[in-house]
Amino acid sequence: MGFFPHLLLAILEGTVAAAVLALSALGLALVFGVMRVVNVAHGEFFMLGAMLAWWVAKSVPGGPAAGFLAALIIAPLAVGALAFVTERLLLRRINYDPEATIVATIGLMFVIQQLALTVFGADAKAVSAPFTYRIALPWFGFSGYKLFVVVASVFILLAVWWVLARTKWGLVMRVTQFDRETATAFGIPVNRVYSAVFVAGAALVAVAAVLIVPIQQAHYLMGLDPLLMSFIVVIIGGLGSIKGSVIAAVIIGMADGIISMFFSPTLASIIATLAVALVLVFRPQGLFGVATR
């Protein structure tokens, strides 16, 4: 295959990577943006979503499409419930202290990871896509499902943007993000908003996992990569800015896809992690960081 077809394939893969990244990072961006805490177990919520998708697909009769739809409902609900419990029993008790939250969610990460290992086992689990459709291009075939994932991501991102920008809920969230104390003074139940945001963030990442798992496989250690990549996207995009995260996801996803294709995935990861570290050091507010009081 010549260079340009190769490049086209890399761009397509990059687009898929960007979409996947944007979806995975969205939950983290929302949580950090509004609550100012870092949930290190974010990747494990993703992994749980993927595991549940596999389990639901296995248990539900009627073929991969039925399993997929069922998983789309069940996974976010289950992961959301776990997030709710975490927020109530853990985060609230430590009063959302940034350092304590990081340490506690690291603990949570280990717990979820190891429980998944015990319950689901150490082997990778494949999940069939709800439909298979091969797009035949002159140089290579490309999976129609992957493009569907891109479209679905765009749709979900737009939906979240709409909620944030155009609904009362979104306004409440943005006010709480900007100044927690003023929000309280206006009668906004900040604790409930935090609860809702944390649960929403977890549900979103579970949806992302259900969408993505037919492309990758489900494995109990799969949460680490989305966690790191989500960090990278959220930080470079600017903590608190959804728009920034999306743009960062596009840039990083494309770069990652292209570098991975032409060089090696490991090298791409090294560059990405160093990039985020340096951005944090020299421009802590990222590309579009939103200032809060």
Partner 1 sequence: MTARILLLHGAVIVALFLAQYVASDYAVLTLTRIMVLAVYALGYNILFGYAGLLSLGHAMFFATGLYAAALGVTRLGMAVPEAFLFAAVCGVIVSFVTGLIVLRASGVAFMIVTLMFSQAAFLTVLYFGDITRGDEGIVIKDDQRVFPVFGHAVNLADLLVRYNIALAFLALAMFLCLAVVRSRIGHVLVAIRENENRTAMLGYDVKRYKLIAFVLSGSFAALAGASYALLFAYAGSTLASIQYSIHPLLWTLLGGAATVLGPVLGTALMFLLVDFASGFTSASLLFVGVVLILLVLFFPKGILGTIRQRWLRWLP
Please state, in angstroms and as integers, the Cα–Cα distance from residue 206 to each residue in 71, 123, 255, following that order.
Answer: 10, 20, 25
CB of 171 to partner 1, least distance (A): 26
C-beta of 111 vs 158, nearer to partner 1: 111
C-beta of 191 vs 269, nearer to partner 1: 269
Report 234-253 residues binding partner 1 (CB under 8 A): 235
C-beta of 17 vs 38, nearer to partner 1: 38
CB of 196 to partner 1, least distance (A): 22
Residue 224 as a binder of partner 1 (CB under 8 A): the answer is yes
**Segment contacting partner 1 by CB under 8 A, of 19-27, 140-148, 250-258, 261-269:** 261-269
CB of 223 to partner 1, least distance (A): 12
Residue 124 as a binder of partner 1 (CB under 8 A): the answer is no
**Segment contacting partner 1 by CB under 8 A, of 64-72, 100-108, 168-176, 210-218:** 100-108
**Buried-exposed string 189-219: b where 16+ CB fall within 10 A, e elsewhere:** ebeebbbbbbbbbbbbbbbbbbbbbbebebb
Residue 287 as a binder of partner 1 (CB under 8 A): the answer is no
**Segment contacting partner 1 by CB under 8 A, of 51-59, 76-84, 187-195, 226-234:** 226-234
| Residue 60 identity (one-letter amino acid) | V
Whole-number Å distance between alpha carbons of 189 and 168:
14
Query: Which of 175, 228, 255, 287 touches partner 1 (CB under 8 A)?
Result: 228
CB of 60 to partner 1, least distance (A): 28
- Total residues at the site for partner 1 (CB under 8 A)? 41
C-beta of 67 vs 201, nearer to partner 1: 201
Report 77-96 residues binding partner 1 (CB under 8 A): 90, 93-94
Q: Dump the DSSP string for the chain.
A: --HHHHHHHHHHHHHHHHHHHHHHHHHHHHHHHHH----TTHHHHHHHHHHHHHHHHHHSSSHHHHHHHHHHHHHHHHHHHHHHHHIIIIITTTTT-HHHHHHHHHHHHHHHHHHHHHHH-SS-B----S---EEE-SS-EEEHHHHHHHHHHHHHHHHHHHHHHHSHHHHHHHHHHH-HHHHHHTT--HHHHHHHHHHHHHHHHHHHHHHHTTTS-B-TTTTHHHHHHHHHHHHHH-TT-HHHHHHHHHHHHHHHHHHHHHS-HHHHHHHHHHHHHHHHHH-TTTTTPPP--
Query: Which of 65, 85, 137, 267 touches partner 1 (CB under 8 A)?
Result: 267
Whole-number Å distance between alpha carbons of 134 and 279:
39
Residue 129 as a binder of partner 1 (CB under 8 A): the answer is no
Report 20-79 residues binding partner 1 (CB under 8 A): 38
CB of 38 to partner 1, least distance (A): 6
Residue 278 as a binder of partner 1 (CB under 8 A): the answer is yes
User: Given the rule CB under 8 A, which residues bind partner 1?
Assistant: 38, 90, 93-94, 98-100, 102-104, 106-115, 117-118, 224, 228, 231-232, 235, 264, 266-267, 269-270, 273-274, 276-278, 280-282, 284
